[in-house]
Amino acid sequence: MWICRTLAGALALLLAAHAPAFAEGFLSSVEDLPLAPGLSEMADAALSFDTPSGRIVEGAAKGAVEAGAVLQFYGATLPQLGWTRESDTRFRRETEILHIEPGAEGRLLVVRFTISPQ
């Protein structure tokens, strides 16, 4: 009996270690731009308006996470939402360009998002 419980516990730990990262919500100014695990939106950084060329949207999020993990999350997630990866920090969808700019501010990572027309 204890062997079954031990094996079940070991299996649960193994599966948890390899579970995919899931978004912790979405940027309020872009309904389909997920927040990487560990990031919280900076509400005062949100900006959105339309121009004759298309929309311009800015937003930011921060958290105690590594830039590499954040970029890896977006590299894996955004193509599923229709974005084409052009580099680690630049994606294209239809007539829009998304820039993701991670930068350190003290002990936190601040990630700035900008969507603009091509």
Convert 4-31 to b/e letters by CB count within 10 Å (16 or more is b).
eeeeeeeeeeeeeeeeeeeeeeebebbe
pLDDT in tens, 42-72: 988 888 999 899 999 999 999 999 999 999 9
**Number of domains composing the chain:** 1
Number of helices (H) and strands (E) in the chain: give both, helices first. 2, 7
Judge whether 13 lies within some domain. no
This prediction has a pTM of 0.78
pLDDT of residue 11: 36
Judge whether 12 lies within some domain. no
Which residues span the domain enclosing 45? Answer: 23-117
Judge whether 17 lies within some domain. no
Judge whether 2 lies within some domain. no
